Amino acid sequence: MKILGISAYYHDSAAALLVDGVLAAAAQEERFTRKKHDSRFPKNAVQFCLEQAETTVREIDYIVFYDKPFVKFERLLETYLSYAPFGLRSFLAAMPIWLKEKLFLKITLKREFAELGGIDQKELPPLMFTEHHQSHAASAFFPSPFKKAAVLCVDGVGEWATTTVWMGEGNELKPLWEINFPHSLGLLYSAFTYYTGFKVNSGEYKLMGLAPYGEPKYVDLIYNHLLDAKPDGSFRLNMAYFNYATGLTMTNDKFGTLFGGPPRKPESEITQKEMDIARSVQVVTEETMLRIARNIKKQTDVDHLCLAGGVALNCVANGKLLKERVFKNIWVQPAAGDAGGAVGAAYAIWHEYLGHDRQVNGKSDAMRGAYLGPAFKNEEITAYLDSIEAPYVSLNDPDLLPQLASLLADEKVIGWFQGPMEFGPRALGGRSIIGDPRSRKMQSIMNLKIKYRESFRPFAPSVKAEAVSEWFEIEDASPYMLLVANVKEDKQISMTEAQKQLFGIEKLNIPRSQLPAVTHVDYSARIQTVHKETNARYWQLLDQFEKITGCPVLINTSFNVRGEPIVCTPQDAYRCFMRTEMDYLVLGNILLSKENQPKWKEDSDWKDEFELD
């Protein structure tokens, strides 16, 4: 039995394939097209999934889409009517796209799949549709390690729902309650993302990273004017300050007046005001998520909580949930945003529609470490490198890994391209750029010379799973880099009284711990625990680094530059390697040194090729 799940046409298109209930493959379309957040039909991602399972479109049993377009269209029409005559410009901009493409999505999907499979539409498998938050909930619960758990999905908006709560048990998901559009915690966060000059649907994590530099000066202003939050976690937004329901922007002039001026212009200087605003909305988000979680615990009295939806990518809020121990355990879908809806849609058909049971052990999940994308053999890699006459050496692991550990300890930056590509927004040791977290200059080097991004952006540590509690204030596994915890107190460096008086970005260059390159200004870190069972090679590299340095931790950032998707192929990796100031690149067992490479030629300024966000 083969079930193909699809998310597309809004943002972060993706495909996922279940074979007899086992997740065989999953990938985002952006990785193949090199267009960040690509929303088009995921032709390349589908083709990869089919090839991975050695199957064809004709042999698929069900194709399932993660959303119900007609219900979403109903919401749009009702919203425009309720706000009429306001929103006319937005209505005129949205309707042609809906009437041409999205409203008749079933016809569009059948045409695309028939063309992809080279078959007549009559030969296609059944095409099914799940609701948006049903897909999120299914992606959170069904691959989780829990037989029974509460499920919380929080995002911008699906068809109508923005926040939903479910009870998952066995192979069933029961909806408990929901909050509907326009009242949305995700859209509140996106409104502040827009106001602080970052791009909506991709810049929210920048706002989260900026928050520790600020003070929560605007929390009361948010609660008094924007958000009516109840003790049980339910909430309503004051729509007089927002423009997203019918306008072309997230906020309006009244919002700007409340916060002392118009939105920050993208790429302009980030001031203390933006830092304080970021901290304030982050605090509000964390408090709201905690209130909802406590209410869910009171309602359900279960031990475990599963999370999905875009807000579930807020790893700081997740860390607070874990620290408060409202639930014994939490599990977050690694592709919690729309891309993960493809996984959830497929699981919903397998378990809910077809009634297949789940096999769980309470410990390991079914996401295979999120290593679900394309992989490349050494022979494929060397064939490409030979074709461009790139010098390299091929080394066996007993020689390669100690050499890499020594290079890292010597403050070299290495592109690490290994095994299957990760599914979801995080690089997890498959497509990563790695470095020494003990280096005081590494954060600046990697931000400005490798990633070409804002200097305030923190980096995440990868740590051997069995050593995590020795270095960080966490006992739990965090394989998907979706939990934040503080560096252990005995590893921290106390600040002087003068340093404590610093504000904003002045805090950036003050070493906070023995791991300064991965310790944020509030002593926190976004942790990835590396497990021998799911990524043995990366674990072995950490082990070699620990043998040399006594430190089982490495910097791990995604293998890409600002505005570009994470690399997928050896060609992508080599191109990124040559366009940046990385020192070494390792592709499988193939090691390349930058100083030995031929001069890189560009036909154009590559930085202009990608959309900066």
Task: Give the DSSP H/E element, type plus range, for residue 538.
Answer: helix 536-549
Domains and CATH numbers, the chain: 2-140+337-366 (3.30.420.40), 179-331 (3.30.420.40), 378-609 (3.90.870.20)
Which has the higher per-residue pLDDT, 571 or 441? 571
Average pLDDT of every residue of the chain: 92
In tens, the pLDDT along 184-211 reads 999 999 999 999 999 998 899 999 999 9
pLDDT at 93 over 70: no
**Nearest-5° angle of CA 34, CA 40, CA 46?**
80
At 493 the three-state DSSP class reads coil
Give the confidence band of 246 by pLDDT, cuts at 50, 70, 90. confident
Query: What is the C-alpha to C-alpha distance for residues 127 and 118, in angstroms, rounded to an integer?
Result: 17
Residues 6+ apart with CB under 8 A from 204: 189, 190, 193, 198, 310, 313, 314
Of the pLDDT bands very low, low, confident and very high (cuts 50, 70, 90), residue 81 is low
Confidence of residue 611 (pLDDT cuts 50, 70, 90): very low
467 has a pLDDT exceeding 50: yes
Asked if pLDDT for residue 602 goes beyond 80, the answer is no
Residue 138 has a pLDDT of 98
d(CA 555, CA 563): 20
Counting every residue written for the chain, the total comes to: 613
Q: How far is Cα 33 from Cα 612, in angstroms, rounded to an integer?
A: 17
Question: What's residue 202's pLDDT?
Answer: 86
Q: Check: CB of residue 289 under 8 Å from CB of residue 229.
A: no
Distance between CA atoms of residues 613 and 202, nearest Å: 7
Query: What is the rounded distance in angstroms from the CA atom of residue 417 to the CA atom of residue 432?
Result: 7
- What number of other Cβ atoms are within 10 A of residue 489's Cβ? 10
pLDDT of residue 334: 98
CA distances, 299 to each of 140, 304, 329, 602 (Å): 19, 13, 17, 60
The predicted pLDDT at position 605 comes to: 45
What residue has token string 């827009």? 194
Residue type, 209: G
Longest dimension (CA), the chain: 74
List, for residues 155-190, the tens digit of each pLDDT value. Answer: 999 888 999 999 999 999 999 999 999 999 999 999
Mean pLDDT along residues 200-229 = 95
pLDDT for the residue 609: 41
The closest of 368, 360, 292, 358 to 327, measured between CA atoms, is: 292
Q: Are strands 553-558 and 304-308 parallel, antiparallel or unpaired?
A: unpaired
d(CA 496, CA 452): 31
Where is pLDDT greater, at 71 or 274?
274
Band of residue 608 on the pLDDT scale cut at 50, 70, 90: very low
Q: In sequence order, what are the residues at sequence separation of 6 or more whose Cβ sits closer than 8 angstroms to the Cβ of residue 293? A: 152, 233, 305, 321, 324, 326, 327
pLDDT, tens digit, 9 for 90 and up, residues 586-595: 999 999 999 9
**Mind listing the pLDDT tens digit for each residue in 12-71?**
999 999 999 999 999 999 999 999 999 999 999 999 999 999 999 999 999 999 998 757
By percentage, how much of the chain surpasses pLDDT 70? 91
Q: Averaging pLDDT over each range in 65-69, 242-246, 353-357, 606-610, which range is the top one?
A: 353-357
Where does the pLDDT of residue 85 fall: very low under 50, low under 70, confident under 90, or very high at 90 and above? low
Q: Which residues contact 319 (CB under 8 A, 6 or more apart)?
A: 483, 484, 485, 524
Residue 104's pLDDT band, with cuts at 50, 70 and 90, is confident
- Tokens 């090839």 — which residue? 51
CA dist 2 and 17 (Å) reads 7
Spatial CA neighbour of 343 closest among 508, 95, 73, 135: 135
- CA quadruple 425, 430, 432, 438: dihedral positive or negative? positive
Distance CA 556, CA 65 (A): 33
Residue 285's CB: how many other CB atoms inside 10 A?
A: 27
- The kind and range of the H/E element at 528 are strand 524-530
- Residue 404 clears pLDDT 50, i.e. is over it: yes
* pLDDT at position 456: 73
